[in-house]
Structure 1
Amino acid sequence: MASPLPLPPSLNLPPHLSAHKYFLVCTLTVAAWDTLVLSPRSWRLLKMQGWPALKILFNFLRIFMPVEFIIVAVAFFDTKWTQDACQKFYLFEPICTAVLLAATSAVHVIRIHAIYEKNRSILYVMSALFAIQVVVTAVCCGFYRSVPLDVGQGCIAGPKHNWVGIYWVTPTLLYTVSFGLALMRSIESRNAKAMSAWKLMLRDGLNLYGAIWLVNMTNVLFWFIMKPTGVEDPVKTIVTSMAAVLTTSMSLRIILSVRGTLDHGGSFAGSASNGSSSRTTHVISGRSGVQTGISTHPQHTYTLDEMRSKPEAEWVADADGKSSVNDIAAENKAGLVPAESREDVPSPGIGVKVTIDREIDYDSPYRK
């Protein structure tokens, strides 16, 4: 009986390397799907006037992220890549991922600073974490190496030492602080205006901050807990590509969830001075309904909440079946009612002033 032919190295993959390839396929699928789904909203954002920092970061991340991982996938799946070629290329992924993480972290610094009403203490804390991340990731890039795989198994970058995992610890720390501060800000706003936890999460994008924290924390735990079987085992870096793509995807959605203008990081959705709300005032005249620009009498302003809270006047009928309106008319003639309230005196300045607050959704197709 003839022995079976041995598989080529490109097909004879160890378990961890095979899992790494499957994870990268999933990563590319997420990146492609995210790029397609966000295309209409990205186009609307591109047509907006001005180029604030968040808009620049959005367009950079949206292009840079898929380009990076397409190139990484070509080097990983191309069976013709040699180890000599990999020695010149392996630093591409850690360096580009460091740039990607720096851009996403900058989004968090700008946004958290904005929702805390430009608080300088918040800015100093977030900026310090950002600076530490940039320095640490840059230093760690010098301690990567090319994983010694067989010809046809691709090109992967791996760490020389276990402590190189701080490459992912520093951005995870920043995202942890970002998630905590965003959560605290939302809880504070809930004290001023009661809102269900679900609506609060969707309004302030807490699910986005939480997803970023979760995927990065999982990556860090995977990095330090998993034990490789040898120098050729890439198990520590299996989750890194997926963590980078999901962090970028959720950060793009944080930018798109900003209501109103993106200048200076936008405004907080729960703030009373939210830039996305417009206020329309209507003065309804008691006689003709025509608004006048000049009034010599004081006008009373009521909000809808106040109008709802006040009980309506009862319509009382006298014994003879006549309503109390006749009594008011009698008081007008007797002079018991102030002159500015009499029906027979034109008072263009008297009426009800209704103020309507409208929240305009950023993604509304009717927003001009």
Structure 2
Amino acid sequence: MSSTLPGLPNSLNLPAHLSAHKYFLVCTLTVAAWDTLVLSPRTWRLMRTGEWPVLKVLFHFMRVFMPVEFAVVAVAFFDTKWSRNTCDKFYLFEPICTAILLAACSAVHVIRIHAIYERSRAILVLMGSLFAAQVVVTGVACGFYRSVPLLDGQGCIAGPKANWVGVYWVAPTLLYTVSAILALNRSLSSLQAKPLSPWKLMLRDGLNLYGAIWIVNMVNVLFWFIMKPTGDADPIKTIVTSMAAVLTTSMSLRIILGIRGTLSHGGSFALTGSTVPSNSSRATHVISTRSGVPTNSTPHTYTLDDMRSKPEAAWGEVDSKAASNGDDKGFPIDERAVTPPNVGVKVTIDREVGYDSYAK
């Protein structure tokens, strides 16, 4: 690579694309450091939980592996004392480690999508096939990387030997595309049970996370195949790859943290308890009124979501206070009253028994 300005050392005399690559890697390291710092409290709380399902193991693995990988990559890229011989022995570190990181992220998507579709075998076959294809493609593509021939002092970068090596990123992007479509479809189908605004639906089901992962990987793929390098020493194709890996990891970590309840078997969908599955029991209670005045109105049925504005402890407090004062008027439920037909409030409680959580 020829110098652009005579008299400057190679570490400062950088072509435009190489200089942009270094600046972009600094941004990548900033995002990785910020993400590591911000997620520290939630990581500690997750660490203290007793169970260790697959998603928890993947979370802590990616949490450590991602910043360590790109810290090492940054040292190789910015250290002006790295020789070409050292780089020829090291350049495969980033593509191999990134393939491992992407496999962990994709495993999170496979487990989570399988879970929100009630562990459908068809979904598992689809996502599992895409995951297997990604592992094979990225593993094979690592053998077709090379050390970008930079000058001494300009750093060490891995680049592709041919344009088709971009399938390294096509495979995971295809999996994240299917994952985002399936997550969106599951969320839209839930609107029949509980209508929500698009904003609340997006936040409840983490659709923004799936969308962010898809966008950053699609941009990376387009960048890889559209941008034309000016020569063998031009690293233009790999400018976005580090940022894509960091953001994919960051959003996948938040998908895990967004799961409500236990992480076993990938968690459950947000509205799993709103319908009555085959392995659930239903209890119906009628709360009578004290007035005994018959009405012609149809009794109202309330779900637990409608009763959340009234804390459960408040009922006990009213009962205890009334009992201590000897006043039976304080009881919200008077079992002595005779309820005429069609009078009162009918409360239906759906209780799901999670047989999967018990050892067989």
Into which bin does the TM-score normalised by the smaller protein fall?
0.7 to 0.9
Take 1:119 and 1:22, find their aligned partners in 2: how far apart are those partners? 45
Amino acid at match of 2:269: F
Is the aligned partner of 1:71 residue 2:105?
Answer: no
Take 2:138 and 2:168, find their aligned partners in 1: how far apart are those partners? 5
- Which residue in the other structure is 1:269 paired with? 270
- Which residue in the other structure is 2:124 paired with? 123
Is the aligned partner of 1:94 residue 2:92?
Answer: no
Is the aligned partner of 1:246 residue 2:244?
Answer: no
Take 2:284 and 2:120, find their aligned partners in 1: how far apart are those partners? 32
Take 2:203 and 2:67, find their aligned partners in 1: how far apart are those partners? 27
Equivalent pair of 2:150/2:233 in contact (CA under 8 Å): yes
**TM-score normalised over the length of structure 1:** 0.77
Equivalent pair of 2:301/2:345 in contact (CA under 8 Å): no
Take 1:33 and 1:167, find their aligned partners in 2: how far apart are those partners? 27
Question: Are the structure 2 counterparts of residues 305 and 79 from structure 1 closer, same or farther at C-alpha, using a change threshold of 3 Å?
Answer: closer
SS of the residue aligned with 1:165?
A: helix
Amino acid at match of 2:148: V
Question: Are the structure 2 counterparts of residues 82 and 282 from structure 1 closer, same or farther at C-alpha, using a change threshold of 3 Å?
Answer: farther
Structure 1: gaps spanning 5 or more residues: 288-300, 309-340, 359-368
1:1-368 pair list within 5 angstroms? 6-272=7-273, 303-304=301-302, 354=347
- Which residue in the other structure is 2:321 paired with? none
Equivalent pair of 2:274/2:350 in contact (CA under 8 Å): no
- Which residue in the other structure is 1:334 paired with? none
Take 2:134 and 2:63, find their aligned partners in 1: how far apart are those partners? 21
Note the C-alpha offset of 1:281. 9.6
Note the C-alpha offset of 1:93. 0.1
Amino acid at match of 1:31: A
Question: Are the structure 2 counterparts of residues 225 and 304 from structure 1 closer, same or farther at C-alpha, using a change threshold of 3 Å?
Answer: same
Note the C-alpha offset of 1:142. 0.3
Equivalent pair of 2:113/2:179 in contact (CA under 8 Å): yes
- Which residue in the other structure is 1:313 paired with? none
Take 2:11 and 2:190, find their aligned partners in 1: how far apart are those partners? 56
CA RMSD of aligned residues (A): 2.9
Note the C-alpha offset of 1:354. 4.8
Equivalent pair of 1:302/1:355 in contact (CA under 8 Å): no
- Which residue in the other structure is 1:364 paired with? none
Take 2:283 and 2:42, find their aligned partners in 1: how far apart are those partners? 28
Once the two structures are superposed, residues 236-292 of structure 1 have per-residue CA deviations (whole angstroms, 9 ceiling, x without a partner) of 000000000000000000000000110000000132359xxxx999986767xxxxx
Once the two structures are superposed, residues 340-360 of structure 1 have per-residue CA deviations (whole angstroms, 9 ceiling, x without a partner) of x985x89xxx986656899xx
Take 2:284 and 2:336, find their aligned partners in 1: how far apart are those partners? 25
Note the C-alpha offset of 1:33. 0.2
Q: Considering only CA atoms, is the larger Rg found in Structure 1 or Structure 2?
A: 1
Note the C-alpha offset of 1:302. 5.8
**TM-score normalised over the length of structure 2:** 0.78
Once the two structures are superposed, residues 309-331 of structure 1 have per-residue CA deviations (whole angstroms, 9 ceiling, x without a partner) of xxxxxxxxxxxxxxxxxxxxxxx
Q: Number of paired residues?
A: 303
Equivalent pair of 2:193/2:274 in contact (CA under 8 Å): no
SS of the residue aligned with 1:303?
A: strand
Note the C-alpha offset of 1:121. 0.1
